[in-house]
Structure 1
Amino acid sequence: MINTSYILPLLVLFICVIALLRRVNAYHSFIEGVKDGIFLFSDIYPALLAMMCAITLLRESGLMEVICNGIATYIEGIPKEIWPMVFFRPISGNASLAVLVDIFKTCGVDSLQGIMASIIQGSTDTTFYVITLYFSSVGIKKTKNALPIGLLADVAGIAMAIFLTVWFFG
């Protein structure tokens, strides 16, 4: 067996050797990278904070539960516990992960809802998060078709996740 505890120190040593061979000041480059990271964080943080605040308000106010229960009464075949996942997944990975854990606690990991939520979590992306965070961090103001295409991909991923879960596990 290979002892994996040596991987990280060996990687750092490898980087230092390459820096020496190329005559690059590795410490100075590291410090500059940290500075760039702090500036990037200060650019991204306001958008991230606003998004997390909005998600928390939706969830904690009970509005999301009212909306999901209303939709679940009109659309049969999709468990009502899945609807918060459907709404939060395109917005935030952390919020959808919290919904996933909540589904695991209330319904069980091996339940239809747990399996369906897991597949949705793995087959879709956080479209609004990606557009808000990454586009703003590089200064793109006009997103053109990124939002509709991203949401279309989310709808397709969620629909296929629900269909395949019902097909194989329902």
Structure 2
Amino acid sequence: MFNYLSKSIIPIIFLLIITYGMFKGRKVYEWFIEGAKDGLQVTLRIFPYLLAMIIAVQIFKEAKLMDLLNNLIAPIGNLIGLPKDLIPLLIIKPLSGSGAIGVFTDIIKSFGPDTRTGLIASVVMGSTETIFYTITVYFGAIKVKKIRHTLWAAILADMTAIIMAIFVVNIFLC
């Protein structure tokens, strides 16, 4: 019963909204079409920003900058107890969610989900954000060119999440 309900929750909500709108005498279909048009316009507005972000990530990967950054960050990681194998995840996560999932999957396959490295990677994946992608999409959608303090606040939040992930995992493994 629960399996059936969980698979049909979205259609149930959809039907409830349509039914409610019809009983209230609203033009549900016309509003849906207007929303779809607005969504398409937003997609067209943010496409250049998304394309630029995708190209930047590809250049980063193809130029082999990951190895260089990994070697530069490793000594700092050692100071806070960060396994060197997690540094690629920390570099990719702010840029690309799908890239981070690929790196995360490799970490879990290599080390396992119950190891210190696997647990820290899991907490990092759940507590950090794809900063540059998010800023690109949201600020691009509303045509904001000056992001002010958003980037530094987001980077500080991610750094805090990484440090806390290491701290919390170490507490629970002791």
Q: Same fold (TM over 0.5)?
A: yes
Amino acid across the alignment from 1:113: T
Q: 2:15 aligns with which of 9, 13, 27?
A: 13
Aligned residue among 74, 80, 92 for 1:88: 92
Bigger Cα displacement from structure 2, 35-44 vs 54-63: 54-63
- Report the equivalent of 1:139: 143
Give the SS at the match of 2:61.
helix
1:56 pairs with one of 48, 55, 58: 58
Alpha-carbon distance in 1 for matches of 2:103, 2:110 = 10
What is aligned with 1:31?
33
The unaligned stretches of length 5 or more in structure 1 are none
Cα distance in 2 between the residues matched to 1:37 and 1:30: 10
Quote the RMSD (CA, aligned, Å). 2.1
Normalising by structure 2, report the TM-score.
0.84
Residue pair 1:124, 1:157 contacting (<8 A) in 2 also: yes
Aligned to 1:160: 164
Contact 1:43/1:137, CA 8 A, preserved across alignment: yes
Structure 2: distance between partners of 1:90 and 1:74: 18
2:102 pairs with 1:98 = yes
Alpha-carbon contact 2:77-2:84 (below 8 Å) kept: no
Amino acid at match of 2:63: S
**Which stretches in structure 2 are left out of the alignment for 5+ residues?**
none
Identity %: 38
Q: TM-score, normalised by structure 1?
A: 0.86
Measured in 2, the distance between the counterparts of 1:57 and 1:102 equals 21
1:71, distance to aligned residue in structure 2 (A)? 2.8
